[in-house]
Structure 1
């Protein structure tokens, strides 16, 4: 069936992470060629019967055996019986990895057989021989080589996407009062209009945090309407009552900085958001057929 499912956010990088636990970091040696190289597919050898597939992504097959192997690894990781939702998570994540790998190839990124073999050899240690590691993680030598190549390509593309998130951005420091009752919000707004101090009212309303939202960049808040309104306010200016799906907000902008260093936790969230948006766009632009009975 043709699908328009949204990309799954839960384990986009879980499938990639398995190749990093033994010391394989970001791929550094291969670099994009000056002229982007279109992805090429290795055709499967002729077979009297079709190869069972779990999904087809822009012409690339995700075989049923790949899906079943990944499903087994996922089950071992979560240590419980799997639900139909888990099956969806796993196939969506394999699709995400394939989309990232395809994009890396289109950008000219290539993994040579020499580097691939070198990565595999590096996993063969006295403490844990490669053959044991493969068996523990549900791989054959051939399936792991295919998996590793796709994982390295996907990891490279992921880094290209998330590293576009700047270290510094325009940010505001804001303070808010959130009400779940419109009447309470209106009474507080009347007090502000009469000259009452915002900080004092916020402290009374929320003694623990005093409504301090801290510093954040545009696009960080989960409610876009708040973002648009807040970044249009001047320093010291207070918003009108803003109604959203979670309640009624009154917010004051305490300060602005046109080029402030992002808090690491906020930058990480922005990176995750950038990857989610990239995948969502890629799904819409791609031809994806999931053949599993989800």
Structure 2
């Protein structure tokens, strides 16, 4: 049975990577620092158009449009037709809002990113690209000035620190069950197989012969160990957690068909890497959902 998969937005994935769950410390860069801009911004009497306000903090329209440009360029370069993506503009804006919420959350718990850290990260990126000249070309191609990129980088680093804080709250072991199941298309078939199992038929062999779940059938219907919230089919998961080891379920129906479930064993177990990653992603998304509900977010562009 396919396990549940959750996807974060591209910006949040980048932040999760920057957070570096379990990574080693970054090497101290030896690249010559990029020269800061010495030209102050020209004052404007006309307020800059805004795309959104997040707890009173503005997301400028120009920043949204630049991010939209980068997204569209990346998609078209990859051969993706923008017309197939639906309302991707709202998704890009939501990613910027989420990054801002994460950055604000980091500040709320006393986390800051100082200019030196941003400069060091910038130096590392420039070094990775081959030097300051290549960095300048990359910035221009991607629609950044040095100042706008540093601002985005600082916010991304703050967001990454908040993600790191959130995911460290997720335990790496939890109550899990080890279960197996058989999936068939009709209730009549499921009832017949259940009677055979009660009469002594081998569960794994029966699953290999009759189950239509192609992912678990080769393993005799074995779903492995899993925590709450991991399986794609909640009906199967709920029953597996209700059963005692060795107990066979009644026939249960899901949108996939009809299942027979047997719990093999249960107990506290270390989470598998993919399960831990999923639970960490869920923790970040749950935090964001809560923040969206509790905070004041104003979308200032027409849908």
TM range (shorter): 0.7 to 0.9
Superposition map of 1:1-294 within 5 A: 9-14=8-13, 16=15, 48-78=45-75, 79=77, 80=80, 82-83=82-83, 84-125=86-127, 127-129=130-132, 130-206=135-211, 208-256=218-266, 258-294=267-303
**In angstroms, what is the RMSD of aligned CA positions?**
3.1
TM-score normalised by structure 1 residue count: 0.80
Question: C-alpha offsets along residues 75-118 of structure 1, whole Å, 9 cap, x if unaligned?
Answer: 22222453452212211111111111110010100112233233
Question: C-alpha offsets along residues 126-162 of structure 1, whole Å, 9 cap, x if unaligned?
Answer: 8231322321322112211211111110000011112
Question: C-alpha offsets along residues 163-209 of structure 1, whole Å, 9 cap, x if unaligned?
Answer: 22222222221110112322222222232333433223212113533
Instruction: Could you tell me which runs of 5 or more consecutive residues in structure 1 were left unpaired when the two chains were aligned.
Output: 1-7, 29-44
Label 1:105 to 1:279 Cα distance change in 2 as closer, same or farther (>3 A). Answer: same
Label 1:62 to 1:137 Cα distance change in 2 as closer, same or farther (>3 A). Answer: same
Separation in structure 2 between the aligned mates of residue 26 and residue 95 of structure 1, nearest angstrom: 28
When you count helix as a share of all residues, which structure comes out higher?
2
Separation in structure 1 between the aligned mates of residue 24 and residue 162 of structure 2, nearest angstrom: 14
SS in 1 for 2:229: coil
Label 1:192 to 1:156 Cα distance change in 2 as closer, same or farther (>3 A). Answer: same
Instruction: Could you tell me which runs of 5 or more consecutive residues in structure 2 were left unpaired when the two chains were aligned.
Output: 1-6, 28-41, 212-216
